[in-house]
Structure 1
Amino acid sequence: MRKYTALFFLIMFMIGTDTFLISPLLPTLQTEFGVSTGIAGWMLGAYTLGSAIFALIAGPLSDGWNRRTVLLCGLLGFSVSTILCGFADSFWTMCLFRFLAGVSAAFTAPQVWASIPAVMPASSVSKTMGIAFGGLAASQALGVPIGSWLAVAHWSVPFWTIGTASLLLIAVAFYSLPDMKPSTRERTSILGRYVPLIKSGKARSGFLAYLLLHLGSGTAFAFVGKWMADRFELPIGQIGTVMMFLGFGTLLGSIISSYAARKLGLTNTVAAGMSMLLVLYTVIPHFTSLPIVTIVYLIIFATLGIIFPLVMGALTSLNASIRGTISSLANSTMNGANTLGAWIAGLLYVQLGGYTSIGIFSAVCLALSLGMFLYGGLLGSKTVQTREESASAS
């Protein structure tokens, strides 16, 4: 069973590294392709846009397919499109290849979460889920900085490295994972799987709050590399070093997340964390010391590392029978928010006072998100039942 745990960790590590890689590379790629700051963020947004759109259909569709096949095909597409990013010769070809990588990730990442209960003993599911999430956190702590350091040789090297490593993971997955075919042949429409969530007020408010949470954090993260390059005149290698500390913050937060929830309670932990975040996002653009900025961002990312698993757990508990669909919708929501955030960050940075306006916008999003979480009751809610579950219960 350890081979599955390691495989899922590494897949999420590669996807996470590829997702966040553009941020520290943004100043270099902007110069390479000769594009303005206002649209440069779309090199990040193209990836999240592809993932956001196709995640809406990838999860429900894959519930009726062999998850092993879907995972292998998604990982192959992810590998090839990421390698092609290293050959991009213009802004638009980079956006195209990033979009394709996002589409492939939309079919790959949800299969990891859905495959864990299928191949792991019930007693190990929660632990394996945590380790897989740790792969995302580790990608920020190690993958993104390593990518930045590789980019010192040439900006294309990180893409080729991630793509080639992902090809190796395909071989491991092919020989180690068993078939995971659906238990029944019953066909359910894509929209039909979303009906219980659409009808639930808790689900609607919960996903809106989740959208605002990622919109705030994603907008701030999209241009942090650009801001550090402009404010502190950091070369790309040093930006990668700072990003390493941010990733370690996420990793630390994910490790202590369940402990914090046990001590403070789910609602209090999320409320306290988000309240602190909206203050920190507001004040961080005004700091002039790089060490202080690094420490504050370490705290921000550690707090996000605590909050995200708790909120994701609350969302997936809405309905146990459609967890794959919920996970895909959450993934789409996250990437949609990051796509919008990258676009908004570019506008704010250029038109409204640089990173200060981004910090204020992020703080407002966090405040609205917290209000929706508390108003909707997601953090202490009963599950949303499907019609079949309601009928059987009655």
Structure 2
Amino acid sequence: MSKYTVLFFLIMFMIGTDTFIISPLLPTLQEQFGVSTGVAGWMLGAYTLSSAVFALIAGPLSDGWNRRTVLICGLLGFSISTALCGFADSFWTMCLFRFLAGISAAFTAPQVWASIPTVVAPAKITKTMGIAFSGLAASQALGVPIGSWLANSNWSVPFWTIGISSLLLVVFAYFLLPDMKPAANKGERKSILSRYVPLITSGKARSGFLAYLLLHLAVGTSFAFLGKWMADRFELPVGQIGTVMIFLGFGNLFGSMISSYFSRKLSNANTIATGMVLLVALYAVVPQLTSVISVRIVYLIIFTTLGIVFPIVMGALTSLNASIRGTISSLANSTMNGANTFGAWVAGLLYVQFGGYSSIGIFSAVCMALSLGTFMLGGIFGRKEVRSGTGSASAT
């Protein structure tokens, strides 16, 4: 495993842990700051909202700068703002620091995906993407439980731990990463909007991001009310539901680590097609299961398959245009957050109004099938990339 792979894994692990850590701490923070349940949710929303919005700006800006500098500065801001969360003395200061952490994450995470094709040999890109993605999966399986355990002594400790650890990664990134300056275009200064033009005008790129939206809509809708359904259907307490979530995180981690193996053996297109067909069937079947064990097994397969699929999809998206990888990665991040937010709303509507979790399973299966069809018809796994500034395609 290369030094870059380890660094990218650890960066994504820290960002993932920071993203999810508020959820288990929410009841404690709500009591600490004396706010209602509805208002307390903004401590989570402040982070995801700023991350989604500023990613649309951060990506195009980073494509015109030294990507190494952007990543290091973003990670430094992330470490400081996260550590400051541990010193928050009110609800509003916590929201402010979470907002700043989200902005910093918006500048940092996309640089990981955009940097991998630059510093890693072509044959190892998919494997490195998979390991970096596994950092997010590991944060769910390990980071959040560890953070919750650290919070037993004081709710501030997880924020300080993430902040200090991220600061150490800043030092490692400074010495390990090479300069990644944009290609010289004398006399050319591109605006933020102009960097999106190659994606907007390319049918291949439009299809790719539509498929990516549908993919996350399927996953986000199904996952949003999984805990609620398991509590209602099987009368599981919160602790056992949390154990199931950790179990799923390990499945996702395992899938992302073996993603490159399937990519080599089956090809990207065949791996995506096989994996997503399997997901369509499993999403439709899982609401009909009658035992907790069978649900755990099926969802383990689902999350392992997602772990295989996501790195390949991200690799395909970032290969659309080598000159605007930051823009592509940031747009993918915003697409994911938007789909997950909308998916949670759809899940609530379906669960209450249209037959519970069965309707959610059907909705997710349909979205996954539409995503697969869009990926295949759009040619996202072909061998061409979007030509910068034109929207046409050229052989790579």
Q: TM-score by structure 2 length?
A: 0.82
Instruction: Give the corresponding residue for 2:37.
Output: 35
Query: Residue 47 of structure 1 contacts residue 102 of structure 1 at CA under 8 Å; is this kept in 2?
Result: yes
Paired AA for residue 306 in structure 1: I
Paired AA for residue 83 in structure 2: I
Structure 1 position 294, deviation (Å): 2.1
Deviation per CA, 1:160-181: give whole Å up to 9, x if none.
Answer: 3322321222233334444444
Query: Residue 125 of structure 2 contacts residue 315 of structure 2 at CA under 8 Å; is this kept in 1?
Result: no
Between the two proteins, the alignment pairs up a number of residues equal to 390
The 1:370/1:99 distance shift into structure 2, 3 A limit, reads farther
Judge which range, 299-308 or 110-119, deviates more.
110-119
Deviation per CA, 1:272-330: give whole Å up to 9, x if none.
Answer: 32233233334434545333322222111111111112222222232233323222222
The 1:346/1:392 distance shift into structure 2, 3 A limit, reads closer
Aligned residue for 2:384, secondary structure, equals coil
- Map 1:270-281 onto structure 2 (within 5 A): 270-281=272-283
- Map 1:224-373 onto structure 2 (within 5 A): 224-228=226-230, 232-236=235-239, 238-287=240-289, 289-349=291-351, 355-373=357-375
Query: Residue 257 of structure 1 contacts residue 305 of structure 1 at CA under 8 Å; is this kept in 2?
Result: yes
Query: Residue 113 of structure 2 contacts residue 318 of structure 2 at CA under 8 Å; is this kept in 1?
Result: no
CA distance in 2 between counterparts of 1:224 and 1:31 reads 26
The 1:198/1:146 distance shift into structure 2, 3 A limit, reads same
Structure 2: 5+ residue runs without aligned partners? none
Instruction: Give the corresponding residue for 2:14.
Output: 14
Deviation per CA, 1:99-127: give whole Å up to 9, x if none.
Answer: 43222111001222333455556676555
Aligned residue for 2:385, secondary structure, equals coil
Q: How big is the alpha-carbon RMSD for the aligned residues of Structure 1 and Structure 2?
A: 3.5
Instruction: Give the corresponding residue for 1:219.
Output: 221
Instruction: Give the corresponding residue for 2:137.
Output: 137
Query: Residue 23 of structure 1 contacts residue 221 of structure 1 at CA under 8 Å; is this kept in 2?
Result: no
Aligned residue for 1:378, secondary structure, equals coil
Structure 1 position 354, deviation (Å): 5.2
Percent identity between the two aligned chains: 76
Query: Residue 197 of structure 2 contacts residue 389 of structure 2 at CA under 8 Å; is this kept in 1?
Result: no
Deviation per CA, 1:125-163: give whole Å up to 9, x if none.
Answer: 555444323322322332233234444556554333322
Structure 1 position 88, deviation (Å): 5.8
Query: Residue 110 of structure 1 contacts residue 327 of structure 1 at CA under 8 Å; is this kept in 2?
Result: yes
The 1:155/1:293 distance shift into structure 2, 3 A limit, reads farther
Instruction: Give the corresponding residue for 1:105.
Output: 105
The 1:378/1:177 distance shift into structure 2, 3 A limit, reads closer
Structure 1 position 42, deviation (Å): 5.9
CA distance in 2 between counterparts of 1:77 and 1:158 reads 17
Aligned residue for 1:383, secondary structure, equals strand
Which residue, out of 186, 189, 210, partners 1:187? 189
Query: Residue 24 of structure 1 contacts residue 240 of structure 1 at CA under 8 Å; is this kept in 2?
Result: no
CA distance in 2 between counterparts of 1:213 and 1:91 reads 34
Query: Residue 148 of structure 1 contacts residue 239 of structure 1 at CA under 8 Å; is this kept in 2?
Result: no
Query: Residue 76 of structure 1 contacts residue 167 of structure 1 at CA under 8 Å; is this kept in 2?
Result: yes
Aligned residue for 1:379, secondary structure, equals coil
Does 2:67 align with 1:58? Answer: no
Paired AA for residue 138 in structure 2: A
CA distance in 2 between counterparts of 1:262 and 1:384 reads 24
Query: Residue 62 of structure 2 contacts residue 70 of structure 2 at CA under 8 Å; is this kept in 1?
Result: yes
Query: Residue 130 of structure 2 contacts residue 259 of structure 2 at CA under 8 Å; is this kept in 1?
Result: no
Paired AA for residue 167 in structure 2: L
The 1:89/1:343 distance shift into structure 2, 3 A limit, reads farther
CA distance in 2 between counterparts of 1:391 and 1:313 reads 17
CA distance in 1 between counterparts of 2:245 and 2:393 reads 51
Judge which range, 378-387 or 209-218, deviates more.
378-387
Structure 1 position 392, deviation (Å): 10
The 1:367/1:31 distance shift into structure 2, 3 A limit, reads farther
The 1:391/1:309 distance shift into structure 2, 3 A limit, reads closer
Query: Residue 60 of structure 2 contacts residue 192 of structure 2 at CA under 8 Å; is this kept in 1?
Result: yes
Judge which range, 378-387 or 251-260, deviates more.
378-387
Instruction: Give the corresponding residue for 1:164.
Output: 164
Query: Residue 197 of structure 2 contacts residue 391 of structure 2 at CA under 8 Å; is this kept in 1?
Result: no
Query: Residue 67 of structure 2 contacts residue 179 of structure 2 at CA under 8 Å; is this kept in 1?
Result: yes
